[in-house]
Amino acid sequence: MNRIELTRIPFIKNTLKSRYPQLAVFIVMLVGYIFAILAGLIGTPVGSHNFSIVFVWIAWWAILILVAVPFFGRGWCAVCPIPLPGEWLQRGAVLAPPDKRPKWLNLRVPKMFRNIWMQNISFLLLALFSSVLLTTPNITGIVLAAMLFAAIGLSAIFERRAFCRYLCPVGGFIGLYSQTAPIELRIKDKQVCVKCEGKPCYNGSDAGYGCPWDVFPGGMTKNTFCGLCMECIRTCPHDNIAINLRPFSADLAKPSTRMDEAFKAFIMLGSAIIYAGVLLGPWGSFKDAAYNVGSGAWFIYATVFLATIFIVLPGLFTLGIMTTKGRQSLKQRFMSLSTALIPLGLMFWVAFSLSFVLTNASYILAALSDPLGLGWNLFGTANAAWQPMLTTILAPAQTLALVVGLVWSARTAQKVNEAGASTIPVIVYCFVATSIMLWLLL
């Protein structure tokens, strides 16, 4: 399947080029985000009746992992409200034409931080406390506020969207999995970019700002770091930027060459397995350990969590690929073959989230009518009874997701593997991981 350029359709192109539709979505999102913070801080402490828990961890999470990431890649980043206040302060404007003089320090992020290790660490920090975070409204409120202020602080110190690019705990895995999405922003003709003077897509012009994600579109070959903010569509003087519909996982034919991205794949794979066991399994002692932060049991849980992600999963993977011969070094093979774990991890998260979301989605109606748990009944649904949804199709849907993920990963392993080397160890690894996930979920 060849690419279909969506920006050839005038309506789509004009909508993306204009700042007003995006601003309208931004404002709705920002209002919702600030309301989630307030609900977390002043609303009922009962998580299942608080807007912050229900709308962030059930509604938003469902949309993100079941729709936005698989089909739109970084589509969420395109409308995420977290960087907005910082970016507006950094620019000194919301919609006004860019002023070349920096309003704040405008420093470049130090080279040692220009990778996704900080995002790996920030995700793991949240993951280790996730049982409390997912269930306690004021903790969710504090974390959401902290992310907003961290984004403002980093915008004041560094140029562009340093928070999104290097620190956001969600942005790291969205970037990783956006490589599988059937949508991309790419240039149309490389020669046009080569000859283009001033590179306004990166440096900005009177028409718009330089890439907030610190990416030069002319050199972009993967979705990973493109936030789909559409700024380059506005600034390109040659109409050389396109939004394309493409086959799923087109980026995965190009193997990963970075250790931070390789470990991101293990972090996401391991977290999905551990969550499936701890949160959705029948073992109460695991839940106690995960919830009682600071207790001895929690330290054991945290140690097992980190050991699984940093030692057990990558260690077994390395042992597997050591059994095959290849021209590349073991480190290169580790990084490139870890690309095969990206679709598997995505489908693990889809299968895990299906269970969590379908079971708890009925809380959305009640929280909509009484978002703070104060006894309101705005839409007459405040007393909607809890009822799991679609439980009869849950198990087949999870099996389908996991088996599709397994085949997708096997195919990816073949694509990224060097000629002549065997992919059997990687496929066996994926099969064993899938079987464990099936056992935990079914």
Partner 1 sequence: MSYRLSLLLLVMAGLVVAFAPLPVQPITPQERTFEIDAHQFAYSPSELHVNPGDTVTIQLISTDVVHGLYVDGYDISVEADPGQSATLTFVADKPGSFRFRCNVTCGAMHPFMIGKITVGTNDWLYRSIGLASLAVIGFFPLSSFLNQSKKKDERNIAS
CA–CA separation, 131 vs 279, rounded Å? 8
Q: What DSSP designation does 107 have?
A: B
Q: Are 150 and 163 in contact (CB under 8 A)?
A: yes
Q: Is position 383 an interface residue for partner 1 (rule: CB under 8 A)?
A: no
Closer Cβ to partner 1, 29 or 358, answer by number: 358
Q: Is position 399 an interface residue for partner 1 (rule: CB under 8 A)?
A: yes
Q: What DSSP designation does 220 have?
A: -
Of 331, 182, 320, 340, which is closest to residue 269 (Cα–Cα)? Answer: 340
CB of 304 to partner 1, least distance (A): 18
CA–CA separation, 305 vs 270, rounded Å? 8
Q: Is position 414 an interface residue for partner 1 (rule: CB under 8 A)?
A: yes
Q: Is position 281 an interface residue for partner 1 (rule: CB under 8 A)?
A: yes
| Member of 10, 284, 294, 420 binding partner 1 (CB under 8 A) | 284
| Member of 4, 280, 319, 374 binding partner 1 (CB under 8 A) | 280
Computed on alpha carbons and rounded to an integer, the radius of gyration of the chain in Å comes to 22
Q: Is position 291 an interface residue for partner 1 (rule: CB under 8 A)?
A: yes
| Cα–Cα separations (whole angstroms), residue 80 to 22, 89, 375 | 10, 16, 30
Which of these segments, 76-84, 236-244, 338-346, 432-440, binds partner 1 (CB under 8 A)?
432-440
| Member of 40, 47, 141, 343 binding partner 1 (CB under 8 A) | 47
Q: Are 201 and 232 in contact (CB under 8 A)?
A: yes
CB of 356 to partner 1, least distance (A): 8
Q: Is position 402 an interface residue for partner 1 (rule: CB under 8 A)?
A: yes
How many residues of this chain bind partner 1 (CB under 8 A)? 42
Q: Is position 434 an interface residue for partner 1 (rule: CB under 8 A)?
A: yes
CA–CA separation, 269 vs 425, rounded Å? 17
Q: Is position 347 an interface residue for partner 1 (rule: CB under 8 A)?
A: no
Bridge partners (DSSP) of residue 107 are 158
Closer Cβ to partner 1, 52 or 224, answer by number: 52
Closer Cβ to partner 1, 300 or 393, answer by number: 393
Q: What DSSP designation does 404 have?
A: H
Q: Is position 61 an interface residue for partner 1 (rule: CB under 8 A)?
A: no
Closer Cβ to partner 1, 115 or 138, answer by number: 138
What tokens does 8 get? Answer: 């050839």
| Member of 140, 179, 359, 417 binding partner 1 (CB under 8 A) | 359
Q: Which amino acid is at 192?
A: V
Q: Is position 418 an interface residue for partner 1 (rule: CB under 8 A)?
A: no
192-221: contacts with partner 1 (CB under 8 A): none
What tokens does 273 get? Answer: 């397995």
CA–CA separation, 318 vs 80, rounded Å? 37
Q: Are 29 and 81 in contact (CB under 8 A)?
A: yes
Which of these segments, 24-32, 146-154, 187-195, 385-393, binds partner 1 (CB under 8 A)?
385-393
Q: Is position 302 an interface residue for partner 1 (rule: CB under 8 A)?
A: no
Query: Can you tell me whether residue 148 is helix, strand or coil?
Result: helix
Closer Cβ to partner 1, 93 or 403, answer by number: 403
CA–CA separation, 32 vs 56, rounded Å? 10
Return the H-helix or E-strand segment holding 243. strand 241-245
First to last CA, the chain: 35
Q: Are 287 and 279 in contact (CB under 8 A)?
A: yes
Q: Is position 392 an interface residue for partner 1 (rule: CB under 8 A)?
A: yes
124-143: contacts with partner 1 (CB under 8 A): 131-132, 135-136
Q: Is position 407 an interface residue for partner 1 (rule: CB under 8 A)?
A: yes
CA–CA separation, 412 vs 175, rounded Å? 17
| Member of 52, 249, 336, 360 binding partner 1 (CB under 8 A) | 360
Of 351, 345, 166, which is closest to residue 271 (Cα–Cα)? Answer: 345
Which of these segments, 102-110, 197-205, 221-229, 283-291, binds partner 1 (CB under 8 A)?
283-291
Closer Cβ to partner 1, 6 or 400, answer by number: 400
Q: Which amino acid is at 315?
A: G
Q: Is position 106 an interface residue for partner 1 (rule: CB under 8 A)?
A: no
CB of 344 to partner 1, least distance (A): 11
Q: Is position 353 an interface residue for partner 1 (rule: CB under 8 A)?
A: no
| Member of 16, 33, 49, 273 binding partner 1 (CB under 8 A) | 49
CA–CA separation, 175 vs 150, rounded Å? 20
Mapped to the 3 state alphabet, what secondary structure does 178-207 carry?
Answer: HHHCCEEEEECCHHHHHHCCCCHHHHCECC
Which of these segments, 14-22, 109-117, 188-196, 397-405, binds partner 1 (CB under 8 A)?
397-405
| Residues binding partner 1 (CB under 8 A) | 46-49, 131-132, 135-136, 279-285, 287-288, 291, 356, 359-360, 386, 388, 391-392, 395-396, 399, 402-403, 406-407, 410-411, 414, 427, 431, 434-435, 438-439, 442
